[in-house]
Structure 1
């Protein structure tokens, strides 16, 4: 009996020990179903803060299959950062119209298949938008959220209250990398640092010379001329490239002016962002506008802003190239065009992974070539 009792005690102790290990295992390793659900909630979705200060819950990067972009400059940043544009299913027509088609063919080969008809201006037609089955929508400011109020899809706002080209182009690059889980190793800030060093070297050589007067046309339809005044991206371009903005006495992005006002300002250099091409100014072919009285006309210094992946007059993924191009146009004896063309080719190879031909570089720098009488 004693031997039987001893064996019974041993068996009971063993059972208790095994029971205790079993409970410990369950605590540390829950069943696979529970573990999968926890991973999806904790490690799948991400919460980011967009540039407007909103907290946005995003799906896992690998589940972002369809992207819609409402803000025009963001298409260039998407192409630069993400590179695989096959997931870009919807975008504003402005982004594509403001880009160079030869460059779009190389960077966004599906660009002609991207849907643009879901937008009227920047307002989304909700029904048409949902047909695109988007996982993510990228906008700039409240006006571009029209039609998205009741859409249960993450909307990331890239609005920033700062009209500085470097600041915004760098910030949209940073946020785009965060959204798509990409490193900042090749960030746009590094490209800006290179560009700023180049421009600083040019400006140091002319620091004692009188400031040249510059004007950036926002748009010229022939009937109406608007300019870029103080506190705008256009103003920032002119000042950072060593010019005085003659429209700096005005404040705002699209200020209507007359030819008489332009004659009073008499700018040395004119940059044309949108509207009628520079060739029509220089050809004195704009009815009702006599540009021959302006100093910039007399010296042939009226230029279209280049168009690469985007019109360079707006902050975009090509912005470090824009500031160098401006410095070269402002001070042509300090920065040769041949050197600058080499910089463009190196930039596109480094940032986009593509090689540009001489013809493609020319198409960027002279986007409206042959349009003098059109």
Structure 2
């Protein structure tokens, strides 16, 4: 396990020893300023087993061998936006997080992470904006490790500055399979920290939920046609397609992804394409400020959603936000599977989602959710998309 001992403890110990030495001199101390004492000559101390151990080297999700510092007391995360919440999940604290992306912080401020780990709100965000990283500002944070998005293509930027980085993959890890992605992140963190039992329990819960849902929907003859609206930029909706998280979510929970055959990853589309797809259900992520009422009231400038089946039938849903935005991999990924399965097939999944949330948070986050907090998770606010 990586030591959690910081530099300040060594300074404090030196001060104590110096105080004891001066106290032992008592009244016999010389009148003139004393010359600092020189340590007596001695045989070199035998190296401890720990000091002789090889440096800790892990393999990150770019396949790089990364030598980690002996102590990891200060970390930052760049545009790997869900990672602060996953770090908390794995380590049980966010105290070491001194820097993170503004979009991570806006999620934290409007999520349960701020309640479970309020120290996360002290993290600095001034080094990042959009896809840009200000290395000079990041260096001021004096980090031991920076967790970076593997697909960003910015490794050289950090390397030239002498910053130790661990690359975390997103859609490239498992072709957009959210459950496999979060499991891989936790397995990587297990190389660095001793994982809390709850993290391992969440992996097991998620695998079980995925299998149970797959079995339940396997014989369904008619599956709903659904669409994941990831973002909204420059007057166009950004839709999730094949190989992106939205595609996994829909396939895993018994829906037909209307964009699967036409889009790879995420892409802007025009309304004519959406008319052709005519989804029966629309899911809106927390990476956009758009809300269901914007579609029902047809107030999105320049776009007419009123003829889309999902809008006419009142099946436009904002994806929840708990420990993090549920669209992305997070500690709440198993809950996203259950929530989506119930929306897609309410006749099959009749469980009480509010109670499932309460049981899950008590079991894995050691926290008893109030009714108001459950409501906040299931109905997130627009502000949670700020900083994107």
TM-score range, shorter chain: 0.7 to 0.9
Would you say 1:318 and 2:332 are equivalent positions? yes
Is 1:247 the counterpart of 2:259? The answer is yes
Query: Unpaired segments of 5 or more residues in structure 1?
Result: 1-30
**Unpaired segments ≥5 residues, structure 2:** 1-42
Instruction: Tell me by how many angstroms 1:149 deviates.
Output: 2.0
Deviation at 1:319, TM superposition (A): 0.9
Tell me the equivalent position of 2:62: 52
Are 2:51 and 1:40 equivalent residues in the alignment? yes
Computing the radius of gyration from Cα coordinates, the structure with the larger value is: 1
Shift of 1:99: 4.2
5 Å-filtered alignment, 1:94-113, equals: 94-99=103-108, 101-113=110-122
SS in 2 for 1:248: coil
| Distance across 1 between alignment mates of 2:333 and 2:168 | 17
1:250–1:98 distance in 2 versus 1, CA, 3 Å:
farther
* Compared CA separation, residues 183 and 49, structure 1 to 2 (3 A): farther
Query: Which residues of 2 match residues 168-317 of structure 1 at below 5 A?
Result: 168-182=181-195, 186-187=199-200, 188-204=202-218, 207-221=219-233, 223-273=235-285, 274-275=287-288, 276-317=290-331
Which whole-Å CA distance do the structure 2 matches of 1:324 and 1:297 have between them? 23
* Cα deviation digits, residues 226-271 of structure 1 (max 9, x gap): 1111121111111111111111122323211111211111111001
- Say if 1:370 and 1:152 are closer, same or farther in 2 by CA, change over 3 A: closer
- Aligned counterpart for 1:132 among listed residues 121, 141, 159: 141
Query: Could you give the per-residue CA deviations for residues 87-146 of structure 1, whole angstroms, max 9, x where no partner exists?
Result: 110011111223462513212202332101112334432221121111111112143436
| 2:213 partner SS | helix
Deviation at 1:178?
2.0
Q: Distance in 1 between matches of 2:156 and 2:296?
A: 41
Q: Assess, with a 3 A threshold, how the Cα gap between structure 1 residues 123 and 147 changes in structure 2: closer, same or farther.
A: farther
CA distance in 1: counterparts of 2:380 and 2:148, whole angstroms: 27
Could you say what secondary structure the match of 1:147 adopts? helix
Is contact 2:108-2:120 (8 Å) kept? Answer: no
Q: Determine if the alignment matches structure 1 residue 91 to structure 2 residue 104.
A: no
Moved more, 63-72 or 140-149: 140-149
**Using the alignment, how far apart are the partners of 1:336 and 1:144 within structure 2?**
46
Q: Give the equivalent residue in structure 2 for 1:3.
A: none
Shift of 1:152: 2.9
TM-score, length of structure 2 as denominator length: 0.80
Distance 2:229 2:265 in 1: 10
Q: Distance in 2 between matches of 1:290 and 1:120?
A: 32
CA distance in 2, matches of 1:185, 1:96: 24
What is the root-mean-square deviation of aligned Cα atoms in Å?
2.3
Secondary structure in 1 matching 2:243:
coil
Q: Once the 2 structures are TM-superposed, how far is the Cα of residue 197 of structure 1 from its aligned partner?
A: 4.0
Give me the whole-angstrom Cα distance separating, in 2, the residues matched to 1:126 and 1:33: 41
Structure with the bigger percentage of helix: 1
Question: CA distance change for structure 1 residues 66 and 121 in 2, over 3 Å: closer, same or farther?
Answer: same
Compared CA separation, residues 168 and 109, structure 1 to 2 (3 A): same
Q: What secondary structure does 1:139 align onto? A: strand
DSSP-derived class of the 1:218 partner: strand
Match of 2:158 among 139, 144, 148: 148
Total equivalences in the alignment: 334
Greater mean alpha carbon deviation, residues 141-150 or residues 299-308? 141-150
